[in-house]
C-alpha cells in the first residue's frame, strides 16, 4: 500500500483540508492555489520523524541548513505569482525538498526548479515522483544564474532571501511576468513582487518575510 496517499491519520485528505481551511481563514483567497495545496501530500516531503507536524503552519528543517517553508508562506508566494491569471512556464529558485515545486506543478504548465545542494535534490526528485509532479524539471545548479536556455519565464519564485534581485533572473522574466522574492535590507527581510513591464521593472514590497539566505555556487 502507498502510505503517501493513504487515508489514515495525518496522511488523510481530511488533514489537508483542515490546512486549506486554515489558510483560507488567514487570508489566502486564490481557490486554485488552495485546491493545489489540498492535493499535494505535504507529509511525504519531510523526514518521517517530522511528518506528524507537516500540516502545521510552520517551517520545518530539511538538513543542510535548509527549511521547508510554512504552508502559509508557500500559498502566499504562489498567490502573488499567479495573481488570478494562468501560468505557463515558471522557474523556481531553491527546490529544497520539492514541496513548492509539486504545488506549482498543479498550477503551471511547465516548472523548472534549481537547487544548489545535490543531496537535497536527490530527495526532491524522489518526492516529486511520489507526488506525480511529472511536469517539473530539476537541476543542481546556482539558482542566481537561472536557466537562460528555457527563458523567458512567466513567473519566477525565489525561496531564499537575497540582498538584490540577480540580474540574470530579471533578464529571463517575460514582459508581464513576476518575480516573487524575499529581499534583505538593513537586516530585515520583506517579500517583494517584481513585475516586468514594457518600460522596465516595477517593485512592490508586500509583507515581512523570513527565509534562509540565497547563496551562490554549489553546496
pLDDT in tens, 5-47: 443 445 578 899 999 999 999 999 999 999 999 999 999 999 8
Determine, yes or no, domain membership for 215. no
Determine, yes or no, domain membership for 214. no
The enclosing domain of 168 has a CATH number of: 3.40.50.150
Cα separation, 202 vs 219, in Å, equals 32
- Dig out the grid coordinates for 194 from the structure: 517584481
What is the reported pLDDT for 116?
A: 95
What is the reported pLDDT for 10?
A: 53
Determine, yes or no, domain membership for 7. yes
Determine, yes or no, domain membership for 97. yes
Residue 156's nearest CA partner among 135, 139, 142, 171 is: 171
Q: What is the domain extent for residue 117?
A: 3-208
Cα separation, 99 vs 115, in Å, equals 13
Cα separation, 142 vs 113, in Å, equals 11
Determine, yes or no, domain membership for 218. no
Give backbone dihedrals phi and psi of 160, rounded to 5 degrees, phi first: -160, 150
Catalytic residue from among 25, 52, 59, 69: 69
**CA dist 166 to 27, 139, 152, Å?**
30, 18, 15
Residue 152's nearest CA partner among 170, 164, 140, 128 is: 170
Give backbone dihedrals phi and psi of 80, rounded to 5 degrees, phi first: -65, -40
pTM: 0.92
What is the reported pLDDT for 61?
A: 85
Determine, yes or no, domain membership for 219. no
Beta carbons within 10 angstroms of residue 197's beta carbon = 9
Residue 51's nearest CA partner among 107, 121, 3 is: 3
Q: How many structural domains does the chain have?
A: 1
Low-confidence ranges of the chain (pLDDT < 70): 1-11
What is the reported pLDDT for 7?
A: 37
Q: Could you confirm whether 59 is annotated as catalytic?
A: no
Alpha helices in 53-184 (DSSP H): 71-82, 99-107, 118-130, 167-171
Determine, yes or no, domain membership for 213. no
Alpha-carbon Rg of the chain, whole angstroms? Answer: 16
What is the reported pLDDT for 6?
A: 40
Cα separation, 199 vs 65, in Å, equals 39
Amino acid at each position: 500500500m502507498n502510505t503517501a496517499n493513504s487515508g489514515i491519520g495525518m496522511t488523510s485528505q481530511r488533514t489537508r483540508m483542515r490546512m486549506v481551511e486554515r489558510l483560507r481563514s488567514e487570508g489566502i483567497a486564490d481557490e486554485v492555489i488552495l485546491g493545489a495545496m489540498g492535493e499535494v501530500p505535504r507529509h511525504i516531503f519531510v523526514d518521517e520523524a517530522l511528518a506528524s507536524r507537516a500540516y502545521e503552519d510552520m517551517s520545518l528543517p530539511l538538513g543542510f541548513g535548509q527549511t521547508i517553508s510554512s504552508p502559509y508562506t508557500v500559498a502566499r508566494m504562489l498567490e502573488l505569482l499567479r495573481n488570478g491569471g494562468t501560468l505557463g512556464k515558471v522557474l523556481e529558485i531553491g527546490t529544497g525538498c520539492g514541496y513548492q515545486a509539486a504545488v506549482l506543478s498543479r498550477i503551471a504548465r511547465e516548472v523548472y526548479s534549481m537547487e544548489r545542494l545535490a543531496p537535497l535534490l536527490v530527495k526532491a526528485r524522489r518526492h516529486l515522483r511520489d507526488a506525480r509532479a511529472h511536469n517539473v524539471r530539476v537541476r543542481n545548479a546556482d539558482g542566481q544564474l537561472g536557466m537562460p536556455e528555457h527563458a523567458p519565464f512567466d513567473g519566477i519564485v525565489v525561496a531564499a532571501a537575497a540582498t538584490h534581485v540577480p540580474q540574470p533572473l530579471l533578464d529571463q522574466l517575460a514582459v508581464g511576468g513576476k518575480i516573487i522574492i524575499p529581499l534583505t535590507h538593513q537586516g530585515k527581510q520583506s517579500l517583494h513582487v517584481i513585475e516586468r513591464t514594457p518600460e522596465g521593472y516595477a517593485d512592490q514590497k508586500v509583507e515581512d518575510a523570513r527565509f534562509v539566505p540565497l547563496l551562490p555556487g554549489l553546496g
